[in-house]
């Protein structure tokens, strides 16, 4: 799927956020967002995907993984569509969410589709399983040791390219 096709699928879109809001958010994060995701925010300000559209691809371990897309965050007032609100929730002490991730979307079950912000994770897209906690003996707060985080793609563009409608292979 192209970025244009993905944006066309989104419902409840608002006009893009003003550049000063984007820059203020980046200042809060302490980093500039990856260019492909930044360009996405320049074009749209979040919304939702109706129906069963999902990313389907191979993980770093070679397994096939599907992540359905539901809410797409932006600079919105609605908590479930707000980058800032979700960032705040994720960084609360109870969530055990890696600080190097930014929650950018979710699936219908409330799991996070997240963007890496730092080091080699920068720009990569991950799936965070909300009802599974990392092993406390192994987790040091980093993405690599979070057993509830799965790498989906190496970039936001690649993630969007892997999104398509549910098909018969999803029943296997």
pLDDT tens digit at each of 172 positions of the chain: 999 999 999 999 888 988 999 999 999 999 999 999 999 999 999 999 998 999 998 776 678 889 999 999 999 999 999 999 999 888 776 778 898 999 999 999 999 999 999 999 999 999 999 888 888 888 888 888 888 899 999 999 999 999 999 876 654 4
Domain segments of the chain as ranges: 3-166
Q: Sort strands 64-68 and 71-72 into parallel, antiparallel or unpaired.
A: unpaired
Say if residues 142 and 98 touch (Cβ distance below 8 Å).
yes
The token pair at 35 is 């260019």
36 vs 3, 40, 73, 134, 166, CA distance in Å? 10, 6, 15, 29, 25
Question: Residue 148 gets which letter from DSSP?
Answer: T
d(CA 159, CA 161): 5
- Give the model's pLDDT for residue 91: 79
Contacts of residue 22, defined as CB under 8 A and 6 or more positions apart, other chains included, come to 33, 38, 41, 42, 75
pTM for the predicted model, two decimal places: 0.92
Helix axes 83-90, 19-29, angle to 10 degrees: 10
Contacts with 9 (C-beta within 8 Å, 6 or more apart), sequence order: 49, 53
The dihedral sign for the CA sequence 9, 19, 23, 157: positive
CATH 3.40.1580.10 fits 3-166, yes or no: yes
* Alpha helices, DSSP H, located in the chain: 3-9, 19-29, 35-43, 83-90, 156-161
Picking from 92, 75, 94, the residue whose alpha carbon sits closest to that of residue 83 is 75
pLDDT at 168: 65
């Amino acid at each position: 799927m192209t970025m244009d096709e993905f944006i066309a699928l989104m419902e409840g879109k608002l006009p893009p956020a003003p550049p000063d809001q984007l820059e203020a958010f980046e200042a809060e994060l302490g980093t500039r967002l990856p260019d492909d995701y930044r360009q996405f925010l320049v074009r749209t300000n979040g919304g939702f995907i109706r129906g069963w559209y999902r990313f389907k691809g191979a993980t770093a371990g070679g397994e096939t993984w599907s992540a359905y897309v539901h809410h797409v965050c932006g600079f919105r007032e609605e908590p479930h569509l707000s980058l800032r609100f979700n960032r705040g929730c994720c960084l609360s002490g109870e969530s055990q969410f890696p600080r190097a991730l930014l929650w950018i979307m979710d699936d219908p079950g409330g799991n996070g589709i997240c963007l890496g912000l730092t080091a080699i994770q920068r720009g990569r897209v991950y799936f965070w399983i909300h009802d599974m906690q990392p092993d406390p003996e192994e987790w040091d707060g980093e993405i690599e040791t979070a057993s509830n985080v799965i790498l989906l793609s190496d970039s936001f563009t690649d993630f969007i390219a892997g999104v398509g409608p549910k098909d018969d292979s999803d029943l296997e």
